[in-house]
Amino acid sequence: MRGLKHSVSQSKSDYHMYLQIIVIALFFSGNMMASTPDHAFYIAVIEINHTAHAKEAELTVKVFSDDMCDALRNASQSAEAVEPEQVCTKYAEELADYFAGHLSLYLNANPTQLKLNGCEEIGDTYQLSFSMACPEEWDELRITADFLMELFPTQSQMVHIAHNGNTITARLTAKHKSHTVTFVK
């Protein structure tokens, strides 16, 4: 069985703490958004799931819809507003291109290709589903995620990695856009 260089029990407790923070942030930001156009928290969640010996991994990104619309409009350098209900349909190609430039993963020092499989608007968020071909065995995973940071300097990405029965959680910020996990046998 493969382990993580990080303490798994500490990672689980960190994960639960981060999860509680996210739930509280989402709860309060939903209430704040009703009265103001901006929200107090700029946070996204990235979940990476890989089962032992699988040749494909799943990746889910959850972002606030208003932030994603702003990022797509900014990326297109257009003054035209991006309508939230059209992001998953009309702007699917732009969405895939945006994340291709702002979310990268290296497995065992080799770049991966993310494929956007789905987009769903859930309340005031989008849930984006990606897949990636990957080696069956992972020695090292490096993730870099700077999406939305070009617009929101306080943007944070909460990263949850589930690999071969082990989990680790990390937080990415404008100062620390990358995180590397080394898996030990």
Cα dihedral 107/109/115/120 (nearest 10)? 60
Q: What is the mean pLDDT of residues 104-113?
A: 96
Give 36's pLDDT tier (boundaries 50, 70, 90).
Answer: very low
Confirm whether pTM is higher than 0.85: no
Q: Which two tokens stand for residue 144?
A: 């870099």
Cα dihedral 50/143/18/22 (nearest 10)? -100
Q: How far apart are CA 30 and CA 101, in angstroms?
A: 28
Cα torsion angle, 85, 74, 91, 179, sign: negative
pLDDT at 21 over 80: no
Termini Cα distance of the chain: 7
User: What's the confidence (pLDDT) of residue 23?
Assistant: 57
Count CA atoms within 13 Å of residue 23 on its CB side: 6
- Average pLDDT along the chain: 85
Q: Which two tokens stand for residue 57?
A: 């991994």
Specify the range with the lowest mean pLDDT, choosing from 15-24, 55-64, 160-169. Answer: 15-24
Specify the range with the lowest mean pLDDT, choosing from 38-42, 67-71, 76-80. Answer: 38-42
Cα torsion angle, 111, 22, 121, 72, sign: negative
Among residues 166, 173, 48, the alpha carbon closest in space to that of 107 is found at 48
Q: What is the mean pLDDT of residues 6-17?
A: 53
User: What's the confidence (pLDDT) of residue 16?
Assistant: 60
Q: What is the mean pLDDT of residues 154-171?
A: 94
